[in-house]
Amino acid sequence: MKKLILATAIAASFVSTVARAEDAKPDNELSFNAAVVSDYRYRGLTQTRFDPALQVGADYTHNPTGLYAGTWLTNIKWIKDAGALTGTDTKGNVEWDIYGGKRGDIGGGFTYDVGGLYYYYPGNTLANAGLKNANTFELYGQIGYGPGYFKYSQSLTNLFGAVNSKYSQYYDLGANFETFYGVMLGLHVGHQNVRGNPNEASYTDWKIGLSKTFDEVAGITLGVAYVGTDMKDGFATTPASDGAKNVGKNGVVVSISKTF
């Protein structure tokens, strides 16, 4: 049971969405973004117990240097779920990301993006569930070529409350292609390594997504993605009151977003 609780707390702290902060690509100097998603997934795992999320953010880029900074907020449920699994009261229903870095061209068609991302969960009491504070800081570096990229992230703190998980790593390989009629095809596979925890706490996730921006409809972007992981049933779950569902089970995520 203790292993299950730990894994669920780790699992429920990740996802991948259209407007996700670390994937934001602002134009010019200042931009804002807003999105509604049918399920907030990060690194393949639900953060909202498969329920919808409202997400907003802002980005600033200094074009001559490639320096950028931004912030992003969303509702979550995973911290409360961690408490429910241990029979304790835990608080924390908002994720607030703050990030900054530098991107640019290396030459020969290669690009780079390096920076840091702080995941802040205001007023969270995850420690009540026998874990650590949920707040997490990661450094990341990305190399891109054409439509493809490889990104590496490493936590400099405990990873989303997991005990003794400092320096955990995430590997992200993907590509984004324009296909027909302006439809974008996004492919992704990633692997989360959680240090200081059983091998079962580490897992692989994937995503296949399609999106299209409709300029004639106020520039709204519609997206649909099939997301999944190799996390086994019964290892990391939502609370029993929700049917103890695998937080990394395969599923479809629908989104509507706009950048302005």
CB 172 within 8 A of CB 193: no
Are 130 and 162 in contact by the 8 Å Cβ rule? The answer is no
Q: Is the Cα torsion angle 43, 4, 39, 205 positive or negative in sign? A: positive
Q: With a threshold of 0.75, does the pTM exceed it?
A: yes
Q: Where are the domains of the chain?
A: 2-259
User: What tens-digit pLDDT sequence spans the chain (260 residues)?
Assistant: 333 334 444 444 443 334 444 454 444 689 999 999 999 999 999 999 999 999 999 999 999 899 999 999 999 999 999 999 889 999 999 999 999 999 999 999 999 999 999 999 999 999 999 999 999 999 999 999 999 999 999 999 999 999 999 999 999 999 999 999 999 999 999 999 999 876 668 999 999 999 999 999 999 999 999 999 999 877 788 888 888 899 999 999 999 999 99
Which CATH number is 2-259 given?
Answer: 2.40.160.40
